[in-house]
A and B are shown apart, each in its own frame.
Chain A
Amino acid sequence: MFNLRTGFYALLLTIVVLSGCNRKDPEPENEKEEINRMEVVFTPVTGGNSVTFLFSDPDGEGGNPPTITAPPLRARTTYNVTITLSKDKDGKREDKTAEIRAEADEHQFFFIINPATLMTHRYDDVDKNNRPLGLRNIVETQAAGSGTMRIVLRHDLNKAFPNLNNTNFQQAGGETDIDVTFPVTVQ
């Protein structure tokens, strides 16, 4: 039998020699698809100060909790509502809205308002097939009250699904890219 200690040193030597091989550092990945900021800007049709709902989670999924702000809206007011998506990284902001607009036929936003009497929503933009997208919208607030507005962005869904709306969109397939709920106060 061979000497155990010699064997051990031989193993150790092999490992030390081989682990000294030329090893390159990896390159960091630029997560181009990541969206970590959503701004929903409510501009009254009749003019006046706009209101911005904000979801921001600069450290991404699973890190620190996101920031969600939703200042109050005025009652019985019609707003132009635009959504802006972007990615914040290392102090820089990259726009992601254009990517959604470019693939409008594969995407759609859905707006789930609870209670439904809080305000009404309708789409103000379409894709190349004349189907709604939801980057531009018109919202009319009703009487004062409070509730929530859930904004869902679906990707790769069947936009030809009959009577596609904010209650049946899951049945149209696809997957969720964004699902954010804002607390809403109408006063």
Chain B
Amino acid sequence: MRVLFTLLLVQIPAVCAQAQEQPCKGRIAGKVVNSYTRQPIAGASVQQMNDSSKALVTNADGTFALNQCERLAQIIISKAGFKDAVYTLPAGEEKVLPLIPETLELATVTVTDERISTGNAATTLATVSDEALTRKQGKGLAEVLGDISGVQVLRNGATIAKPIIQGLHGNRILILNNGIRQEGQQWGLDHAPEIDPFMASQLTVVKGAAAVQYGAEAIGGVVLVNPPKLPTQAGIRTMLHLQGASNGRQGIASGQVSGYHSGIGWRAQLTRKRSGNVHTPNYFLANTGVSETNFSLAAGYQKERYGAEVFFSRFNTDLGIFRGAHIGNLTDLQFAISSPRPVVSSDFSYQIDNPRQAVTHSLLKINGYWKKSQGEWQWQYGFQHNKRQEFDIRRGGRDNIPALDLNLFTHTLDAVYEAGKGSAWQWKAGFNGIVQSNLNTPGTGIRPLVPNYWVTAAGTFAIWKYSATRWDAEAGIRYDLRHMEVRRFDRNNVLQRTERLFNNISATVGAAYYVSEKTTLRSQLASAWRPPAPNELYSEGLHHGAAALEFGSDSLKSEQSWKWTNGISLKTDNISLEISGFAQYIGNYIYLAPQGETRLTIRGAFPVFHFEQTNARLAGADLTLHWQPWAQWETWLKGSMVRARDLTNGAFLPWIPPDQASVSLRRNLLLPSESRWKGAYASLSCIVAAQQWRVDVERDFAPPPRGYTLLNFDSGIRYEHGRQALHIGFSVHNLTNVAYRDYMNRFRYFADEQGRNFQLYLKYTL
């Protein structure tokens, strides 16, 4: 039987259940779980096919039960952030029904009681749990993702964080914001992704090179940020978040309203965030406030065979950069490193002074689908405008003139044709186009860090998948062509026009083998590439924050990577184990090579670095173990390690996260089932980060900081009354208020990490 699905919404497939009239036998029951994490999914809608009157929602433990008269019932389960799934269930049995997190991969979800498919075979995916999402949304996208083993965070003090997937970050990972490639100024180590985590109902990390589907830059992995699905049933739904944190005296309010009216589903969302100077255990960090205002609007019209959706979001942040990390020359940097605490002292303040960043990111997306009997067309158009202004401490009353003023305009067009859903052979083919212009606003009075450039790129790909009873196999190929034109002034103020053409073939092959119902093995070999970033090509001069003279080279070639990812997952009733290992080779790896010379300037002498290429190897493993020996007790063990080598020079690569492990123990309080209070828990977790000793000390300004151990506490409870639910959470980060520095924080030269932080969060849904 062929069942068609849409990636976008709940719909009623043109399928008839083979129901037979029989006397009432009893009940159809099941438990809905996340297919990757095996966590129960609460609030998923369960609808009987042919009979929409029998619709209900899963309980907190993912279970549901339908009273009905037929021997078999065909049900459709849907939940925002997951693919719809259809199951044919026999009466009288209670089955575990996995839902697959929604991603853009080829995999579809045609599931019967006979064969439970696990979706995209080869790819190793990890999803942030609902609970961690609620708890960490207020800390920004990178910090939320940091909850996944194998994902770490590259920080620039307290206000800027970027995700690292299996050792790689920045232009080497790709973020898909609601299906659109996020195009900001990702090359900057101090440029955080411009995405509001409160917009997302699901965050997924693809830990493989997924360049065939997503195009350039997906070398380390892909982050998928997906908003909830638009409603398809009448009624207004409301969600409200209120959060407060003691450190930085942070307050966040975020609300979301969605509804459905005469065929059109809609949603509006608004987030406001304000925080002031954060505190380490011993001192305040001057100028570390953040002010953020974000909103998004969406509307969609959906029919069974066709539909379209419009989405608009705007992210707006104004953030301070720790004053003590602003240095003028190498002597200043060395003095800061030798000082046990920053010389710039501060009290609490919400004020955001220079140096600061003001960033606005707007995204408009229009997408649609059209299903035919043989297959389905999907297309999407995206327009993004990224405006970045960086304000520095300047002379002559120029503090209000940005030192960097960049506008990046990106148009993307994606079209995909997908066929064979639900059958053994599936394939999809697609086209991606991108037109981009990066324009410096004149008048900064400072030579632009990156030049004006125009990119036109197009790619086309095809992926095939074959599903058998015990295994799935997948292969794909892609061709990319990218043209870049640059116009800039050289040192002598002579206009230079350069054009570069990059082209590349990427390929992927992978398979999953279902050893048993409990055990799955996955393996994937995938290639990926990325063109050199504008700063790697055209940097020319002093990088103030880094106290270095950096020089790009416009003869750099594209990076070319091969990544082999292997995973094993084991799921029993009370244990779930996920281990993934990877080995990666990156040819033409671009890095800042120290030249062993210093050059004298009016600010003193600075070391000289050139962007050069080498060949690099990365390998590592991540582990997540969840064990629930009794209903009341749960424990998690997570760990990750990465090893990275510069093969040509026999050296270590810088900015590779040290080994890290965490253990958490959680006590669930069993409340009487008739109580309106549900899901009470308290948990204690311990994070241990080792010292990164795999570094070349002479290539860094200071030795890596010592390892550290952090204790975090978290607790929560839920009150349910009819359709209303109130989640109350309380957590403490850095419970013991330990003073430490993290190797992956670029401000580790200057100051300690944040001290103890009490957090209270409320989430109300109606």
Contact = CB atoms under 8 A, between A and B. Distances in A.
Contacts of B344: 173
B456 A63 contact: no
A8 B479 contact: yes
Given A62-B549, A62-B599, A29 B442 contact: yes
A179 B329 contact: yes
A18 B445 CA distance: 31
Contact of A175 (B327, B339, B442, B600): B327
B329 A61 contact: no
Contacts, number: 150
Contacts of A8: 479
A177 B460 CA distance: 51
Contacts of B395: 33, 99-100, 103, 155, 177
A132 B601 CA distance: 25
Contacts of A173: 323-324, 343-344
Contacts of B393: 155-156, 175
A7 B460 contact: yes
Given A26-B440, A99-B395, A175-B326, A62 B551 contact: yes
A154 B395 CA distance: 12
Contacts of A186: none
Contacts of B448: 26, 29
Interface string A5-32: 0011001101100110101011111111
Contact of A170 (B343, B456, B604): B343
A110 B691 CA distance: 39
Contacts of A155: 328, 393, 395
Given A28-B493, A65-B599, A170 B335 contact: yes
Contacts of B339: 171
A12 B603 contact: no
Interface in B434-470: 435, 437, 439-440, 442-448, 451-452, 454, 456-460, 462
Interface residues of A, number: 51
A18 B328 contact: no
Interface string A46-86: 00000000010101111101100000000000000000000
B460 A57 contact: no
B495 interface: yes
Contact of B396 (A32, A90, A175): A32
B394 to A, nearest CB: 6
A172 interface: yes
B343 A171 contact: yes
A36 interface: yes
B493 A35 contact: no
B456 A30 contact: no
A143 interface: no
Contacts of A2: 429
A117 to B, nearest CB: 24
A144 interface: no
A180 B448 CA distance: 26
A55 B393 CA distance: 24
Contacts of B443: 29
Interface in A154-184: 154-156, 170-173, 175-180
A14 B491 contact: no
Nearest to A11: B458
B541 interface: yes
A45 interface: no
Contacts of B542: 61-62
A4 to B, nearest CB: 8
A116 to B, nearest CB: 19
A23 B601 CA distance: 36
B261 interface: no
A102 B395 CA distance: 9
Interface stretch (B230-238, B480-488, B616-624): B480-488
A15 B398 contact: no
A35 B394 CA distance: 13
Nearest to A68: B600
B540 interface: yes
A55 B49 CA distance: 83
Interface string B122-154: 000000000000000000000000000000000
B1 interface: no
A32 B445 contact: yes
A13 to B, nearest CB: 10
A173 B599 CA distance: 25
Interface in B375-399: 393-396, 398
B600 A66 contact: yes
A90 B493 CA distance: 10
B332 A175 contact: yes
Contacts of B491: 59-60, 63
Interface in B470-527: 479, 481, 483, 485, 487-489, 491, 493, 495
Interface in A105-154: 154
A143 B96 CA distance: 93
Interface in B531-590: 540-542, 549, 551
19 contacts: A1-B462, A11-B481, A14-B433, A15-B483, A19-B483, A29-B446, A29-B448, A33-B394, A33-B398, A61-B601, A61-B603, A62-B551, A62-B601, A65-B600, A99-B396, A156-B393, A173-B324, A175-B327, A178-B603
Interface of B: 323-324, 326-329, 331-332, 335, 339, 343-344, 393-396, 398, 429, 433, 435, 437, 439-440, 442-448, 451-452, 454, 456-460, 462, 479, 481, 483, 485, 487-489, 491, 493, 495, 540-542, 549, 551, 599-604, 606, 608
